[in-house]
Amino acid sequence: MGNKVKTTGFRTGISRDWKSKWFAGKSEYGTNVIEDIKIREFFENRLSNAGLEEVLIERSINSVTITLKVSRPGVVIGRGGAGVKLLNDDLAKIVKSKISITVEEVRDAESSAVLIAKSISSQIKHRVHYRRAVLSSLQKAEDLGVKGIRIMVSGVLSGGNSISRREPYMRGSIPQTTIKANIDYGEVATVTSYGVIGIKVWVYKG
């Protein structure tokens, strides 16, 4: 068996930045890690309709700054900032420190690996054939000028009576072993009535 290294983890600290920025001693480190996981799970559940790409967390002594990158910021912010205030109030039950939430818009969502994976997942849940969803995403990404895109779908792709299999689709090149290459990566597990379908996306932006 081969040893697989996650594309983003391979580049963190070299050509990619950390998604959590803070320092803690032994007594606080575990608590902060668990809190970060809870924060990310909270936003994944609450902002499923907002096109959430990633959650960036930055900690100081007694405050937590959270940056949300979404494709539809209006859904998050709400009328007069009411949406952000509601998120802040609900998140205060999980996080003990003072919370500050910033919302950033993701431009060109069709070239974001995470959002592509989520889009394919959503289409599969709405009974769109997986191959049609994948080919459509490939074409949209190509139209935006990405240098390469690879999509891997695996699971019981043709329904409950089919054998589990894996199908890769690729356009352009994906230099995964080149550390300086700007490769975006995203993965989503789609739970259907007949099984789980895994979707992995690699996007090479140059």
pLDDT per residue over 10-60, tens digit each? 888 888 889 999 999 999 999 999 999 999 999 999 998 889 999 999 999
Residues 76 and 50 in one domain: yes
Distance in angstroms (rounded) separating the CA atoms of residues 100 and 120: 32
Domain boundary among 53, 86, 105: 105
| pLDDT band at residue 154 under the 50/70/90 scheme | very high
Residues 93 and 147 in one domain: no
How many domains does the chain contain in total? 2
| pLDDT band at residue 4 under the 50/70/90 scheme | confident
Report the CATH number at residue 192: 3.30.1140.32
Report the predicted TM-score, pTM, of the whole model to 2 decimal places.
0.89
Distance in angstroms (rounded) separating the CA atoms of residues 57 and 101: 10
Residues 37 and 52 in one domain: yes
Range of the domain at 127: 109-204
Structure tokens at 119: 């889009």
Report the CATH number at residue 25: 3.30.300.20
